[in-house]
Each structure stands twice: as structure tokens, then as C-alpha cells.
Amino acid sequence: MAMTVAASSSVAVMIPRVSSTQCSTVPYLPPLPPRSFGRSSFTVPLKLVSGNGLQKVELMKTRASSSEETSTSIDTNELFNDLKEKWDGLENKTTVVIYGGGAIVAVWLSSILVGAINSVPLLPKFMELVGLGYTGWFVYRYLLFKSSRKELAEDIDSLKKKIAGTE
């Protein structure tokens, strides 16, 4: 008995080809209705079987929100004015520029380093294995038990205080 594959854009069905005069046991599947995404509302019908037949129930009805309903626009003039005020309030502008430039250079150099490591055979897989091992250790050390989660939260809080300068 040979098999034939009938494929369309959304469904692939295996239909057995029978060499004798027997009927096929594959049920008839009607084609799927076309999808329309351009509507402003979307309804999912659900058919329920009751005593007097099928009833159609709307399971979910949503409506696309228009731009008038939600106003989350950003005033660019206000944003630039805030940035200008903060920039004018800085005393050491050269230090900020140097740190910002250094951060950009560090990101650029790290991307070059990662690219070089990825070009070496077997080294990327080894680095993935090291990362997986470190992740397992971190979960075991800090996340598995309640007391160690408390310790991690305390360490994070003390680090926040150090960075903010309140400790």
C-alpha cells in the first residue's frame, strides 16, 4: 500500500492510496476559512451542545484601541528641556564625556573579543558549558533555599547602598 502526501499552504494530510476497491478511512476535512486581520473587532465563537441543538456563544470579544482612547505621547520639547537642565546642572562635564566615551569603547572592544572567541573552533561550546555550570552553581548557591535567597537580597541591598553612596 503506497502513501500519497497532499499538502496545501496550511495543512499537510497523509492519504493512503488503496490498490483494491476498499474505501478510504480518512475523514473529509473541510477547507479552513480565510483569516482576516483587518477588522476592528475580533470574535471567537464557541459552539455548545445543548438539549435543543447547537448554540453559538461569543467566547471573547476584543476591540482594537484607537489612538484617541490612549494618550501616551511623549512631548519631545519637554524631554529635551529636561536633558538640557540636567546637562547644565553638571559640574564635571568632561568627566561625564570621558566615562561615556570609555563605555562606548568598552562595548566595542568586548564585541570584537566575543567575535574572536566565536571564530575559534570548540571554544564557543566550551564557554557555553562554563556558563551553564556557573548558572547551575548560582541557582544552587543563591536561589534554591530560602536562607540563601535572603542572603542574596541583603547583598543586593548593600550593593545598592554602596552605589548610591548612602552606606
The ranges assigned to domains in the chain are 77-119, 121-166
Q: How far apart are CA 2 and CA 54, in angstroms?
A: 40
Residue 61, strand partner residues: 43
Which residues does 87 contact at the CB level (< 8 Å), separation at least 6?
93
Residue 55, strand partner residues: 48
- What DSSP character marks residue 102? H
pTM above 0.85, yes or no: no
Written as tens digits, the pLDDT of the chain (167 aa) is 444 444 444 444 555 554 555 555 666 667 776 665 554 445 555 454 555 555 554 545 555 555 444 456 678 889 899 989 988 888 888 999 999 999 999 999 999 998 998 888 888 889 999 999 999 999 999 999 999 999 999 999 999 999 888 86
Q: How far apart are CA 157 and CA 70, in angstroms?
A: 37
Q: How far apart are CA 89 and CA 117, in angstroms?
A: 43
